[in-house]
Amino acid sequence: MAATAPVCDFGWKAAPFALRGTDGRTYGLEDVRGPNGLLVMFICNHCPYVKAVIDRVVRDVAILKDHGVGAIAIMPNDTARYPEDGFERMKEFAAAHRFGFPYAIDETQAVARAYGAVCTPDFFGFNADLGLQYRGRLDASKVQPVPDAEPELLNAMIQVARTGEGPRDQIPSMGCSIKWKDPV
């Protein structure tokens, strides 16, 4: 089921986390932030919206690294009900797409809840002070890539890296709803 992320809550501070990456390391904010910002992405392996944009995400994150912006991708889905998003499959997905950033699992879904993530992909762009400046889409693509689409996330995060502030006009990300675990 498709879901749309809410608009940017400018200045909201990045919530701390400690998550296991596909490389076996545990990552927190200080491990992944860059000197000019941080991009936190909630993605998964099976979502057609993620599959449509993942190669451009990898490309754009590599460009952002040169601008001093760090990045992490977090998989928040219930892997008992969606085994294609399981940890071993995450390793395969990251390798197949040559991730140049950590891909971590949010097994308790506490991080996704702390961020208010609603869909995959859901992008949170923070400035050097870890204040939220971007909560928009990658570009105009949905489940099919849009040729020559404006790289909205890339442009916004380069602006954040340079000025500390994101664009005021942002179009929310759209994707598959997060697959929440049943309440206990």
3-state secondary structure 73-137: EEECCCCCCCHHHCHHHHHHHHHHCCCCCCEEECCCCHHHHHHCCCEECEEEEECCCCEEEECCC
Q: Would you say residue 25 lies in a domain? A: no
pTM given for the model: 0.96
Q: Would you say residue 95 lies in a domain? A: yes
CATH of the domain at 47: 3.40.30.10
- Per the structure, how many domains does the chain have? 1
Q: Would you say residue 149 lies in a domain? A: yes
Per-residue model confidence (pLDDT) at position 107: 97
Per-residue model confidence (pLDDT) at position 41: 98
Per-residue model confidence (pLDDT) at position 143: 87
pLDDT along the chain (184 residues), means of 10: 83 97 98 98 97 96 98 98 97 98 98 97 98 96 87 98 97 95 77
CA 69, CA 125: separation in Å to the nearest integer? 9
Q: Would you say residue 24 lies in a domain? A: no
Q: Would you say residue 68 lies in a domain? A: yes
Range of the domain at 61: 2-13+31-177
Q: What length is written for the chain?
A: 184
Q: Would you say residue 19 lies in a domain? A: no
* Contact criterion met (CB below 8 Å) for 93 and 45: yes
Q: Would you say residue 42 lies in a domain? A: yes
Q: Would you say residue 44 lies in a domain? A: yes
